[in-house]
Structure formats: C-alpha cells, structure tokens
Amino acid sequence: MDKAEVEYVLITVKSGTEEALNIKIYKNGILARRGCGGLPGVSISGMSFTGSSHYFDQLMNSVSQQILDQNINHEEQIKTGSLEYLVAFYGLSSNGDQGERAEWTRSTGLRFFMDEGTSFRHNLLGFADGFAIEAMKLTNAWYFDVVMLALENMRSDALPEQTLVNAPKTEAALNKDFQSYFEQISKKELPEFIKDKTYADQAGQPHFIELDIQGQSITYKFGVKTA
C-alpha cells in the first residue's frame, strides 16, 4: 500500500477480551479514542470532527513506506492469557465516504496476537508498541477534555463543536473509569492538558481547573473564570 493512499489509521491494544486502547485517526479530521493503554480499561469514548488533518499528518510522519510494505499477522498458541497489538492502515474508499461509513479498498497492517509469557521478539512489534504510545501522546490533551465532559459535564473550549462522548450510565461505573483514567495518565503532563483552557458548565459559565498533584495523588476543582 502506498503511503499517499492512507486515509485512516486504527490502533488497538487488548489483553484477553479487555480492550486497553482504541484510537481511530482519519485524514478527513475525524478523531476517536477509548482508553489509556492500561487495565482496567477506561470505557469513556469520544469522537470529534476536527475538520483538519493535523492529528493524521502528525501521526503519519512516523510511518515509513517500509512499514506499509509489511503485512504481518502473527498468531501464537495461548497458554495463559493473550496480548494483542493491532496497527492498521486503510485507504481508497469505494463509496465516496472517508469516515466511519467508508468502504475501504486498500489496507495493510501489523497484528501481533501473543501469549502473555511469550518470548517472541520482532522489530515491528516494537514499532507497534511505540506507535500506540505516540498516538496516545498526540491525543492525550483532547482525550482529557472528553473525560472531563463525561465525568463532570464540563465542556472545554478546545473541544471541536462536533464532539460525541459516550460514558457509563451508572455512578459506580463512572467512578471506576475515574480511578482507572487518573491512575494511567502521566501526572507530569496534566498541567499541559489544561493550559490556556476554560471549561463551561451547562449554563455556559466558563471555569478554570485547579490541580493539586501530590506524588501519585491527584485532586482537582473548578473555579469560576472572571474577566
């Protein structure tokens, strides 16, 4: 598959049947993500129509033609538990849609389905792991805003107008996601996630976020933004 043909990148990481990460980045500006790469998985998901290829272009800078010339589907016998990395590239839609409803005619990718205790090593497995980390870093600030909208019903002024968020319906499940999310994200990067942003409540009143990070402990509160 030629690099110029790629219009959609899918990245997933699974442990057993539980999905730790699912990221979709489209050239047409659609951005979607669920999870932070760890377990328990964070079930809060978001999708934004950014109208820009910024995220896609940034991510594809790390992809060489040599990567796209590979098409690996490695599977091994599972003895204890499974671990799966998937990085897939799609392009050339046959139905005129370049988003979720596209019918892609070209694809390639890397899939590694392994036993938890595997001794398997491959340079492209290292690429898949690093690529997933890069995609998370690229979308972390956006995903933080998705999580704030899901958990607190506070909307960041940096979120695209066309943003959809899906979150658990029960308080217990939301609390579980809260714990998992803040355990898995980088504490030192949190201040960057909220830099120069305001968060509006349901009445439209803008607020700022005040963080208190003590070691691995994180607390935050919203304060009313004054002119």
Distance CA 31, CA 49 (A): 7
Please give the mean pLDDT across all residues of the chain. 95
For residue 105, is pLDDT > 70? yes
Q: Look at residue 225 in the predicted model and tell me its pLDDT.
A: 82
Residues 47, 168: Cα–Cα separation, whole Å = 16
- What is the tens place of the pLDDT at every residue in 127-173? 999 999 999 999 999 999 999 999 999 999 999 999 999 999 999 99
Model confidence at 219: pLDDT above 70: yes
- pLDDT for position 227: 65
Q: Copy the structure tokens of residue 7.
A: 């219009």
Quick count: other Cβ atoms within 10 Å of Cβ 39?
16
CB atoms within 10 A of CB 30: 20
Domain ranges of the chain: 3-184
pLDDT of 92 = 96
Which two structure tokens, joined as six digits, stand for 94?
Answer: 């046959």
| pTM recorded for the entire structure | 0.95
Confidence of residue 217 (pLDDT cuts 50, 70, 90): confident
pLDDT recorded at residue 226: 78
Mean pLDDT of the 201-209 span = 95
Q: Is 153 left (phi over 0), alpha (psi -120 to 50) or beta?
A: left
pLDDT band at 215 (very low <50, low <70, confident <90, very high): confident
Query: Could you give the percent of the chain with pLDDT greater than 70?
Result: 100
Q: Is the pLDDT of residue 79 over 70?
A: yes
